Structure 1
Amino acid sequence: MGEARELMDRATAAIMAKDDAAVAACYAPDVVATTPDQGTLHGIEQLKDYMRELADAFPDMSYELSRGMEDGKYAIDEGYVVGTNTGPLALPDGRRLPATGKKLRMRSMDVATVESGLITKHDFYFDQMEMIEQLGLMHALTTSG
């Protein structure tokens, strides 16, 4: 196992454990992360805030790894984010949707770039429509202002 794979595994474990210090130890202070729902995040504090919002919305969140790959400085994970929506869900416009109580099992893929022993770029990929459908939020998103 190479450095990129080891760091991705450590980062995923830290995120799922909601351990801010362990998350920060895996990422460069000026990390750039891209997300389908919140756009581009700049720096470790924005990344930790994003992860905290997800943890608040899905306190029992876990990750089921289907396939982990590594190629030099890149680590790639394919799997499922699993959890129950028991907390408010933050939207990009600042609104918060109330918890649905519904379970989520959403396909995801992550690509991390490692340089000088830290993750410098992390791209998160998931289908927002899959999430909205599983949580039964289509009506709330199309009728709320």
Structure 2
Amino acid sequence: MGEARALMDRLTEAVTTKPDMEVVAGLFAENAEAVTPDGGELEGRDAIVAYWRSMTEAMTETAFTTLYTFDTEDTAIDEGVFSGRNTGPIELPTGEILPATGKEIRIRGVDLAQVADGRIVSYRLYFDQMEFLGQLGLLPEA
């Protein structure tokens, strides 16, 4: 197992089965960059940790089922299904707060982690926001 795969696997565990923001902080370089569909572009470790803290407080009983993985020397890519229950408020990029719905979700997504010097320096997360909001019952009726 390469360094990128080891860091990606630790990140997945730290944001799903055993949420731990100290572990998340230790995985990212201080000047790391991340892009997420719901948080946009995040600059720096603190912003990335704040994003994951918000997500782990909003979604509990979480799991990630890996469907496909791909690794290079410095990059790990996972495709899988994220599941959980919305038990906490969700903060939108606008600052608006959505109350917890109590609903369960299952969404397919892809994330990529590029590493250098033992830390994640670039992270990308992709998932369908409309599917996420729809499963939470937060979209208007058709």
TM-score computed with the length of structure 1 as normaliser: 0.91
Q: Deviations over 1:64-97 (max 9, x none)?
A: 1112210121100100111011111111100111
Question: Secondary structure of 1:60's partner?
Answer: strand
Match of 1:44?
45
Q: Percent identity at matched positions? A: 44
TM-score computed with the length of structure 2 as normaliser: 0.93
Structure 2 residue 137 is matched with structure 1 residue 136? yes
Q: 1:47: Cα distance to partner?
A: 0.8
Corresponding letter in the other structure for 1:11: L
User: Which structure 2 residue ranges, 5 or more long, are not aligned?
Assistant: none
Calculate the aligned-residue CA RMSD, in Å. Answer: 1.3
Structure 2 residue 15 is matched with structure 1 residue 12? no
In 2, the alpha carbon distance for the partners of 1:84 and 1:14 equals: 17
Q: 1:54: Cα distance to partner?
A: 0.8
Runs of 4+ in 1 over 6 A off after TM superposition: none
Aligned length: 140
User: Which structure 1 residue ranges, 5 or more long, are not aligned?
Assistant: 141-145
Q: Map 1:36-115; keep pairs closer than 5 Å.
A: 36-115=37-116
